[in-house]
Amino acid sequence: APGLYLVATPIGNLRDITLRALDILSAADLVLAEDTRVTGKLLAAYGLSKPMARYDEHAGGRTAPRALALLEQGGRVALASDAGTPLVSDPGFPLVREAIARGLPVFAAPGPSAALAALTVSGLPAERFLFAGFLSPKSAARRRELAELAGVRATLILFEGGSRLKASLTDMAEVLGPRPAAVARELTKLHETLVRGPLDALAADPALDHPLGEVVIVIAPGREEAATADDADAALAEALTRLSP
């Protein structure tokens, strides 16, 4: 069907592309790419060659009118970012919002996302989580953001660039305390590693001093969420005592 397709692409391993994503890319009239070289390589790896235009925070304003005009004529436009799911800490939201405002069809072609991949292997609860994207690169602002997240009763998922990992983990340990956490690095790639432990131990771990590549940090919920069944029983018993005459 005609419309705007949000196509998830591999986060490292080129084989992590869905059959449907390939169908959609090969049928697209225009492929919008965060970086046309990166998406061009992916297309080439699967024997595809398509008209492409750059769509990122800089070029998006120029490319969007062309994409929207094409959609209004009944065309098919695919949006892909360099890695993972578009819009998730990646370009695309203004285009999707405008397409919806104009009543144009928008479809997801779901697939990899570093956030969910890291959550599933972290060993931390996955039924309730908060994805907070990138924190501020500046320590004071980052600590304020962490303080806001401290009360959230859910597993936290954060993106970070490798070079800032140590400074971020140090702030996390200080603001959130020694919660269980995991650092997932280079997921699906040759040097994939997962380091699990309390935040303070991760912040002090020499193995994380010079991390190569990209990381996701997953942090266990604060204490209330981690309360055991015994704690719940004790709280219930106490409440009942207060109620009884």
Residues that bind ligand SAM (CB under 6 A): 11-12, 81, 83-85, 88-90, 113-115, 159-161, 184-189, 214-216
Closest distance of CB 49 from ligand SAM, Å: 24
Alpha-carbon span 202 to 182, nearest angstrom: 8
- CB contact at 8 A, 25 and 48: yes
- CB contact at 8 A, 82 and 57: no
Closest distance of CB 61 from ligand SAM, Å: 19
Closest distance of CB 102 from ligand SAM, Å: 24
- CB contact at 8 A, 126 and 96: no
Which is closer to ligand SAM, CB of 76 or CB of 185?
A: 185
Closest distance of CB 164 from ligand SAM, Å: 10
Which is closer to ligand SAM, CB of 166 or CB of 185?
A: 185
Alpha-carbon span 62 to 58, nearest angstrom: 8
Closest distance of CB 147 from ligand SAM, Å: 21
**Please, what is the Cα angle at 111 between 107 and 116, to 5 degrees?**
120
Which is closer to ligand SAM, CB of 70 or CB of 86?
A: 86
Which is closer to ligand SAM, CB of 70 or CB of 165?
A: 165
**Residue with CB nearest ligand SAM?**
84
Which is closer to ligand SAM, CB of 50 or CB of 131?
A: 131
Alpha-carbon span 59 to 67, nearest angstrom: 12
Residues ≥6 apart with Cβ < 8 Å to 151: 222
Closest distance of CB 146 from ligand SAM, Å: 16
Which is closer to ligand SAM, CB of 27 or CB of 163?
A: 163
Alpha-carbon span 71 to 6, nearest angstrom: 14
**Of residues 173, 120, 123, the one with CA closest to residue 143:** 173
- The token duo for 220 is 């266990």
